[in-house]
Structure formats: C-alpha cells, structure tokens
Copies of this chain bind each other. A is one copy, B any other.
C-alpha cells in the first residue's frame, strides 16, 4: 500500500509539473503584452531597412497577403500590387532626378526613414498602432545629412502563424497639404 501510494504521488507530481510547464511557457510566449510588442517593434524596424535599402521582396513580406498600404495619395492592396506599384514609383523618382555633374563624382545618396514614439494596443491576434516617422537623406551635392520630412503612421496588425504583420498601414506626411492627417490626437 505505501509503495503504491508513493508511486501514485510521483506520477501525479510528474503530470502536474508537465502540465504547468506547458501552461507557463505558452503564457509567457504568446499572451504577454511585452512579447507581442517586442515582435511588433522588430517588424516596424525590419520594414524600414527593407524600404530604405530597396529590398521590395522583404518589404512586402511585412504585410499580410492581402495587406493594404495607404499613403493617402495612393492606396494599394496585396503584396504583389504593393511591390509592383512601389517599384514603379521608385523607378520614376530615380528617372526624374538625374545626377548633376557634381553629384556624379560622389557616392550614391541614401534616404533613411526612422520610427519613434511607438504606441501599440493588442487584442489577441490583432493590434493597432500609432507611431511617428521622419526621413533624412543626403541627396545634395555635398552629401550633407538633411532632415526632409515627417509624419505619422496608423497601423492595423495581425498575428498570422505566430508572426505579426501589417494588415493596413496608413502613412500621413506633414510636408504635403493633402496628406497631413488629423488635427485631433490619433492616439489614446
């Protein structure tokens, strides 16, 4: 009887430990605000690298398959559409601005988008975000670092197969009268 009891004790203890370990891990990994926010911050940063370094394949993978990119003046849905239209727009912008004689001597200019003030609200596998962005570049004869524009994002995000992605990103740009966004606080 006593031997049996101890066997049963140990059995129940092992079951309990296994169950609780599984439960604890799942809780830590998927339901905490910190965990979701950390993954979304990483997404927001990878988006910027892909955009600024012209890596359109990586860029569109930060969106869901049918995600929407809305830059007010233009609105595209779906990874394929975003890639095609953004690619065409970039090519046009490059054509319209041929390098001057002076600039030809220099290394190519770069442009860099930065994100700050990231506000994120999470509800299960959905999230909404607000954040500021600003852009700096050196597309001038001296390759001098220059701030040139800023605005803010309104984001909808979804967790798809454990990966956070943009289902919709709206980009307000305060250097263009038509794209300047809300006068009221878009955050909460």
Query: CB distance A53 to B145 under 8 Å?
Result: no
Contact B42 A119 (CB under 8 A): yes
A19 at the interface (CB under 8 A from B): yes
Q: What mask results when residues 2 to 17 of chain A are scored 1 for a CB within 8 Å of chain B, else 0? A: 1011101110110111
Contact B53 A138 (CB under 8 A): no
Q: How large is the interface on A (under 10, 10 to 19, 20 to 34, 35 or more residues)?
A: 35 or more
CA distance A106 to B178 in the complex (A): 11
Interface flag for A186 (CB, 8 Å): yes
- A187–B28 CA distance with the chains assembled, in angstroms: 27
Copies of this protein in the complex: 3
Say whether B177 contacts A106, CB under 8 Å. yes
Instruction: Please determine whether B116 and A115 come into contact, CB atoms closer than 8 angstroms.
Output: yes
* Cβ of A117 under 8 Å from chain B: yes
Bound-state CA distance A187–B42 (Å) is: 11
Chain B residues near A23 (CB-CB < 8 A): 21, 24
A1 within 8 A of B: yes
A75: B residues at CB distance < 8 A = none
